[in-house]
Structure 1
């Protein structure tokens, strides 16, 4: 395979490397898991990751060169619906804060889809104030004993590993007493219960943790530094949910436009005006996401990712509502109420009714729209911060 000379990691060298890889691994005849494993070993999973961890220490903006070359040859990327949390949140967090041993253990099966991941952050009593969480991790020899409850945990019923934020020091202010762990979802004491959604399916769950033992080798970052680690996860989460690269008329706006073109009998002048407004909004949001991806390619994602997630939620809800209005009574038919466990995070769904119901959650998952507006106001626009009376108060005294 062509090597990438030190100091000369550029687009041409990467294209040559991909060409050599494809010559040895035909995507049409190679088992998909084996293909992804070989791609990881070749450093072509995330080129900006360290060598041996799926990357080549290349500049981040060159990832699109690799992805486009694979797509041009019909090589399917890792599955998004099932691996959204692993690829979009766990991988960059482990790459940033994991030890070499943790990277070796977790990243390859994460990329191939052999290990599914979930995120154990939200709690029933903490609401949108993540730093107020109460799940406790107490030091026990060479490990930690964890007790608490998590909620809205997508794919916990399929997950092998979970990204866990827990309180390890209640005697300091809430942001400083947190630690970040990798939780074995098959460990004794982990109980996963389904939460039935408005759509009829259950892609997320509540998770109870009772004396769950986590070895200290599965801690990410320093003890007490969990909030800083979690910020990396959250920034990537918002980009993973709302910052996808899409062609013009990609996503839900494409579904709506296709319906408009295929069903002329449904059209009215008023609906035409509404469709044009949403089309312009969707195109502006697409271009904004492209700019944000360029910023991410130059370094770590910043608070601007909150804007991508915010616009994603608003547009999805408005577009799905217009699709339902366009279909009229036909759009009200819904035959998908039978309870079932979801096999992936399905953001768009199969029918107009499903899309309308599922998009209601877009303004909650991955950061509520209210919290995202506060982040944008304070960290992007530079407006005065909201008063915080608990800033210097120990968590146990709140």
Structure 2
């Protein structure tokens, strides 16, 4: 199988690299950076011809852009949930009115999105959601409930919410996929969740009769729409993620050389294994890219990178030895420690095998949907 790039792809790479070199340097406010990407036409490369303000790129050119973006050190994206999750879902299931309303602002970097899936009692078990949405007399919905681990909710303009629109329904039945504006004071409250790293990328979101006008795919079709969206969650972006992983691995190798840990044959073996497994992940991602018939491919990819990244965090601490211990922040006594990049990698990567679908859930998907094994018994909700 040929994984090479064409001359046209390499020309596209040169354009992308030149644009990123010109615009991506220096620290930019996150929203300003999204608008810059939108103005350049770099948001929504895979949406196809639709007149939404995006460039049209082949699948391999999308890979090129993702790789060059990761290599450039450009600012972290805050619009990826709208671009990579919501937009493909609307293209597949949304009405023409919904596409015309929501896709252009995403393509221009003007509206940011967050994902309202997980709940305190329904994380990996998504079919157990309890957030309710009742239809009002004017035809809109009133959403009440709690979501958790909601990335970027504190910045988002909109949230796509999986909610139960059929009273007394169970599991995957009676769910709908709603688009909820976040600017509803008194009806939506966002509470940041402080993590071991001291940062707060995730949030709790409380809905108290929040208004929603748009339902994607029709009332009661939420489970099908939600599953379709999860299929978009792993794709071209996985390859860009691996560029970042390669940079982290290089830093761990450098730390092993400086500390002398690389002389330990066990450490050397682990470093080589990390390198080899990263190469395998890349070839697997390229092999399955654009494949719609492999139901287990997203789950396999998640299992591979989640465990790999977690082991890299452990290795980053091992090669440092005693110096891996976190020290106090003299300038901020209320915070017990200050973390460097390696310590942050170790602590944050503890969640890699949980978020985005836990390892247990991924293995169950592979067993049931790919291998055809008996379904796991479900508790009554």
Structure 2 length-normalised TM:
0.81
Q: 1:222 to 1:15 in 2, by over 3 A?
A: farther
Q: Contact 2:242–2:278 at 8 Å: present in 1 too?
A: no
In structure 1, what is the Cα distance between the partners aligned to 2:200 and 2:320? 27
Which residue among 102, 126, 140 is the counterpart of 1:106?
Answer: 102
Matching residue of 1:280: 276
Q: Distance in 2 between matches of 1:75 and 1:383?
A: 41
**SS state of the match for residue 183, structure 2?**
coil
Displacement after TM superposition at 1:18 (Å)? 9.9
Structure 2 counterpart of 1:269: 265
- For the 8 Å contact 2:177–2:216, the answer to whether it is kept is yes
Q: Using CA pairs below 8 Å that are at least 6 residues apart, which structure has the higher relative contact order?
A: 1
Inter-partner Cα distance in structure 2 for 1:251 and 1:26: 18
Residue 37 of structure 1: how far off its partner (Å): 3.0
Could you say which residue in structure 2 is the equivalent of 1:312? Answer: 305
Q: Measure how far apart 1:265 and its partner are.
A: 6.0
Q: Is the 8 A contact 2:159 2:182 kept in 1?
A: yes
Aligned to 1:205: 203
Of residues 350, 360, 366, the one that matches 1:360 is 350
Higher mean Cα deviation, 85-94 or 356-365?
A: 85-94
Q: Shift of the alpha carbon at 1:113?
A: 3.4
SS at match of 1:213: strand
How far 1:60 moved relative to its partner? 4.2
Aligned residue for 1:394? none
Report how many aligned residue pairs link the two structures: 362
1:36 aligned onto 2:31? no
Cα shift readout 1:306-329 (whole Å, capped 9, x = no counterpart): 111111110111111011011011
Give yes or no for contact 2:45–2:62 (8 Å, CA) kept in 1: yes
What secondary structure is seen at the aligned counterpart in 2 of 1:209? strand
* 8 Å contact from structure 1 (residues 78, 111) kept in 2: no
Mark the runs of 5 or more structure 2 residues left unpaired by the alignment. Answer: 1-5, 25-31
Are 1:252 and 1:320, in contact at CA under 8 Å, matched by a contact in 2?
no
Residues 155 and 203 in structure 1, CA contact (< 8 A), matched pair in contact too: yes
Deviation at 1:28, TM superposition (A): 2.9
The 8 Å contact of residues 144 and 208 in structure 2, kept in 1 or not, is answered as: yes
Which residue in 1 is equivalent to 2:3? none
Shift of 1:229: 0.6
Structure 1 residues 228, 236: CA separation in 2 closer, same or farther (over 3 Å shift)? Answer: same
Q: TM-score, normalised by structure 1?
A: 0.78
Q: State the match for 1:85 in structure 2.
A: 81
Asked whether 1:259 is paired with 2:258, we answer: no
Aligned to 1:146: 143
1:172 CA drift (Å): 3.9
- Where does structure 1 lack aligned partners over 5 or more consecutive residues? 1-10, 341-348, 391-397
- Shift in Å, 1:269: 2.0
CA shift for structure 1 position 381: 2.7
Taking the TM superposition and a 5 Å limit, the aligned residue runs for 1:1-398 are: 28=22, 35-40=36-41, 45-54=44-53, 60-61=59-60, 63-64=62-63, 67=65, 71=68, 80-140=76-136, 141-188=138-185, 189-215=187-213, 218-239=214-235, 242=238, 244=240, 246-247=242-243, 250-264=246-260, 267-293=263-289, 296=290, 298-299=291-292, 302-335=295-328, 350-388=340-378, 398=381
